[in-house]
Structure 1
Amino acid sequence: MSNFAVVCASGSFRDRLAGHEGVTHFGHRWTDGGVDVAAGLTGAHVLHLAVAVCVLNDLYREAQDCGIPVDGVRVEAEGEFDEDWSSTGITYRVDVDSPADLARVEDLIALVDQIAEIPRAIRAGAAVTRTA
């Protein structure tokens, strides 16, 4: 089935979403300029957007805790579904604009990959239960 790609960008990466269709702007507590999101409004897109936004948020939070300045973050998440609408997996890519040493930024990205809550919940196979 189709690839359901989403992108969220902040700071120095926001202007790179100008050509994307359906860009929406959101305020954000860690960036003065907020976050721009390019995503369709389907459940599949929203699932992938949850991963991308969680990673973006956690990058800012952990960078602040580690004393790493961040000028911008861009996270793209995507994935496909099989014919029964089971996810075949989600992949994401991160770009961080920072004057910090590249090794520190790479360590930050690796840390966030381990601790980001939404990716961890999905990896663990979170149960989804309807209640009355």
Structure 2
Amino acid sequence: MTVQAHVRNREGRHEVTLRTNDAEHALTIPPKPGGLGSSANGGELLFLALATCYCNDVYREAAALGIDVRGVEVEVEGTFGGVGEPARDVRYRARVSAAGAAEAEVVRLLERTDAVAEVQNTLRTGLPVRLVETAVEIVP
């Protein structure tokens, strides 16, 4: 599975396109009130990625275990320091509504999901991220 995210920003305009393999869709995020940049910061989007991954994976793992999950709520929180500092103390909470399952089964589901959630596991491994290309346009 190949995943891509593309941001195009100009004064007063902010466009986000996401793609997984051949499935592409847009995400609406307005520009900053001043016009340049995104109104959502990278930390917020990183934490959204963690919350979204866990949410989706709860449903995937529940289906594999035959648990009827009716709703998922995930909240991710952490702290960023100064410029260039990585996040620290990142933690998340999950609430799940399920039908026809014992509480212990659902707790095992949540623990299993935490163990296999791909975005969480990516961050836990300390993945290297590389800038591989740059381009410059000089305008009058």
TM-score, length-scaled by structure 1: 0.67
CA distance in 1, matches of 2:102, 2:55: 19
Q: Superposition RMSD on alpha carbons, in Å?
A: 1.1
Amino acid at match of 2:45: V
In structure 2, the partner of 1:97 is: 97
Structure 1 residues 46-85: aligned runs within 5 Å: 46-84=45-83, 85=85
Q: Which has the higher contact order (CA 8 A, sep 6+)?
A: 1
1:111, CA displacement in angstroms? 0.2
Q: Report Cα offsets for 1:55-105 as digits up to 9, x if no partner.
A: 001000000010000110000001111224321131100000012110000
Equivalences, count: 93
Residue 107 (str. 1) matches residue 108 (str. 2)? yes
Distance 2:128 2:48 in 1: 19
Question: Unpaired runs of 5+ in structure 1?
Answer: 1-39
User: Segments of 4+ in structure 1 off by > 4 A?
Assistant: none
- Are 2:118 and 1:122 aligned? no
Q: Secondary structure of 1:83's partner?
A: coil
Identity of aligned residues (%): 38
TM-score, scaled to structure 2: 0.64
Task: Give 5+ residue unaligned stretches, structure 2.
Answer: 1-38, 134-140
Instruction: Give me the whole-angstrom Cα distance separating, in 2, the residues matched to 1:121 and 1:90.
Output: 14
